[in-house]
Amino acid sequence: MNKKFGTALNCIDGRTQIPVIMWMNKNLGLDYIDLITEPGMDKVLSKGNKFEIDKVKKNTIVSIDAHDSKVIAVVGHYDCAANPVSPYKHVGEIKESMRTVISWNLGVKVIGLWVDDFWKVHQV
């Protein structure tokens, strides 16, 4: 298969899935996006316990190994039920989450994405 994959570490909130997939397809030239979801993913990766973070890491490695994903996007979004903080706080947690993922040394690009109140995606 010569298709390009990416991986989105996203919230379970269905409102965010399509905008993130479309943004990653368009801006990163990807064909498919593997979705790994947890409620409030940016909070999980920035403030979660070792068990929660290791679960996300394990699933991310599956995406990389099975689909040769070359990029991981850590996503936070407006109106998150599991992480009801300000956009400013979300951006900080996305940046912390990126550092967590980078520390896994998976040999892929790591980016941060914020989905605003109009469901528009912005790179952090």
Q: Is the pLDDT of residue 1 over 80?
A: no
Predicted confidence (pLDDT) per residue in 62-90, tens digit: 999 999 999 999 999 999 999 999 999 99
Predicted confidence (pLDDT) per residue in 114-124, tens digit: 999 999 999 99
Q: Which domain does 60 fall in, by range?
A: 5-123
Of all residues in the chain, what percent carry a pLDDT higher than 90? 98
CATH number of the domain where residue 91 is located: 3.40.1050.10
The helix (run of H) or strand (run of E) holding residue 57 is helix 50-67
Band of residue 39 on the pLDDT scale cut at 50, 70, 90:
very high
Please check whether residue 16 is in contact with residue 81, taking contact to mean a CB–CB distance below 8 angstroms.
no
pTM above 0.75, yes or no: yes
Token pair for 64: 């990389």
Counted domains in the chain: 1
